[in-house]
Structure 1
Amino acid sequence: MRIVSLVPSLTEAVASSVPGALIGATDWCTHPAGLDVTRIGGTKNPRVDRIVALAPDLVIANEEENREPDLAALRTAGLEVLVTDIRDVPQAFGELARVLRACGVPSRPKWLDEAEEAWAAPLPPTRRRTAVVPIWRRPWMVLGRDTFAGDALARLGVDQLYAGHAERYPRIPVEELIAAAPDLVVLPDEPYRFTADDGPEAFPGLPCALLSGRHLTWYGPSLAEAPKVLGEALRAAHR
């Protein structure tokens, strides 16, 4: 098959499971390392004309990461588009299996079994903690309801304070985030690249956990090691 992926984590899943099938991916598709395919722009602004010119058998997308007008344009051009919807860890496994079947993978890849086993028994927390989870600044935005990353954190003993918000990624002033008095501030390095020098200074007096965004937000081969990687980073952050 000839496959184009518009989702970085699904790019890694397909490239790892169907070597040679992937012919196009976004500029943000960084894994696996050395991926040599045609780049078709960003997740929010893909080059539809370039994708059509590649004549793929299948385009893989995600309802959250990609815009419906772009997907509609691809369908109008006669391309088959598979759209995933992933809002928690179990759903990720189901959707990954569906994507790989659509890509012609004859059997479940080993990494998918290993990922399910890893999440079946996540590292036990010493106690549950509350957290705010910024994913952007200028303006500040945090995880809200029904997010994959939020569910992953909950399974690792971290309850985000805005999980019941009406929006999935609400804009919350930093003063309100501080006033919420969470046990922990979780700062992933994507989509905004929070670092030790860019993020923690906004939350004086609060412990901050700098997490790998790939392990927190990607659904693919990184899921197999995510509980261990995230668990260690979360345990290292304490008052």
Structure 2
Amino acid sequence: MRVVSLVPSLTEAVAVSAPGVLVGATDWCTHPDGLDVTRIGGTKNPGLDRITALAPDLVVANEEENRAADLDALRAAGVEVLLTEVRDVPAAFRELARVLDACGGRTRPRWLDEAEDAWSSPPGPPRRVTAVVPVWRRPWMVLGRDTFAGDVLARLGVDHLYAGHADRYPRVPLDELRAAAPDVVVLPDEPYRFTAGDGPEAFDPLPCALVSGRHLTWYGPSLAEAPRVLSGALRAALR
């Protein structure tokens, strides 16, 4: 089996669960550490010639991460594409099982069972809280409706204030975000890399939780530790 992954979280899942199967991945696929496969470009601009040259049996992709035109071009070249759709935590588990089965996984990986256990009764703040969740700056963009990260936070007791917005990632002026007066501002380190010196100052004096984007937005082995890691960051910000 020869697999190319166009999704960082799926790259990690396949690499640790079916060693030797993965032959290509994007430049943004940073996990697991030391991943030694052919790099085929970005998630939005993959090198289609590089992918087909690898003669993959399967390309795994995601409807949000990857462009339909690129996937159509791969199919036209005779490459089989498995397209995932993940908008909440249960869907992540279903799609991960489907991907690993398609990649020839012989047994269900232990981390997947551990992840489902971790999300069966996740920890969270002592009370439900409200949040805004910027994902980009210049312009400011936040989580809106129907997102995986939004569902992750909701299961941890965090209701983000733009969950009912018409757009999935709306542009919202900073003044409006501040005026919304959330209990906490959640700042992930991807896709925009918010840091202690780049992000919290815009919302002062609102409390800010700097969180790992891998734990907030990835669906893979990180799901097993995400409830603990994210809850710890939220609790620290709300003290």
Q: Shorter-chain TM-score: which interval?
A: over 0.9
Match of 1:57 in 2: 57
Residue 125 of structure 1 deviates from its aligned partner by: 2.6
Residue 124 of structure 1 deviates from its aligned partner by: 4.2
Match of 2:43 in 1: 43
Instruction: Return the TM-score normalized by structure 2.
Output: 0.99
State the Cα deviation string for residues 79-119 of structure 1 (Å, max 9, x = none): 00000000000000000000011001112100000000000
Match of 1:235 in 2: 235
Q: Which residue identity lines up with residue 218 of structure 2 in the other structure?
A: W
CA distance in 1, matches of 2:45, 2:174: 29
Q: Any runs of at least 4 consecutive aligned residues in structure 1 with deviations exceeding 4 A, and if so which?
A: none
CA distance in 2, matches of 1:203, 1:84: 35
- 1:4 paired with 2:4, answer yes
Identity, % of aligned pairs?
79
Q: Is the 8 A contact 2:191 2:213 kept in 1?
A: yes
- 1:142 paired with 2:142, answer yes
Match of 1:110 in 2: 110
Match of 1:120 in 2: 120
Question: Within 5 Å, which residues of 2 pair with 1:140-179?
Answer: 140-179=140-179
Q: Is the 8 A contact 2:125 2:234 kept in 1?
A: no
CA distance in 2, matches of 1:166, 1:16: 37
Instruction: Return the TM-score normalized by structure 1.
Output: 0.99
- 1:130 paired with 2:130, answer yes
Q: Which residue identity lines up with residue 129 of structure 1 in the other structure?
A: V
Runs (5+) with no aligned partner, structure 2:
none
Match of 1:21 in 2: 21
Q: Give the SS at the match of 1:131.
A: strand
CA distance in 2, matches of 1:12, 1:130: 31
Q: Give the SS at the match of 1:135.
A: strand
Question: Within 5 Å, which residues of 2 pair with 1:69-108?
Answer: 69-108=69-108
Q: Which residue identity lines up with residue 57 of structure 1 in the other structure?
A: D
State the Cα deviation string for residues 23-56 of structure 1 (Å, max 9, x = none): 0000000000000000000000000010011110
- 1:198 paired with 2:198, answer yes
CA distance in 2, matches of 1:4, 1:83: 12
Q: Give the SS at the match of 1:237.
A: helix
Shifted more, 182-191 versus 121-130: the winner is 121-130
Q: Is the 8 A contact 2:116 2:224 kept in 1?
A: yes
Match of 1:189 in 2: 189
Q: Which residue identity lines up with residue 79 of structure 1 in the other structure?
A: V
When the two chains are superposed, the root-mean-square deviation of aligned CA atoms in Å is 0.7
Q: Which residue identity lines up with residue 105 of structure 1 in the other structure?
A: G
Residue 238 of structure 1 deviates from its aligned partner by: 1.7
CA distance in 1, matches of 2:60, 2:219: 14
Q: Give the SS at the match of 1:104.
A: coil
CA distance in 2, matches of 1:221, 1:43: 20
Q: Which residue identity lines up with residue 125 of structure 1 in the other structure?
A: P
State the Cα deviation string for residues 44-71 of structure 1 (Å, max 9, x = none): 0000010011110000000000000000
CA distance in 2, matches of 1:138, 1:82: 34
CA distance in 2, matches of 1:53, 1:20: 18
Q: Give the SS at the match of 2:238.
A: coil
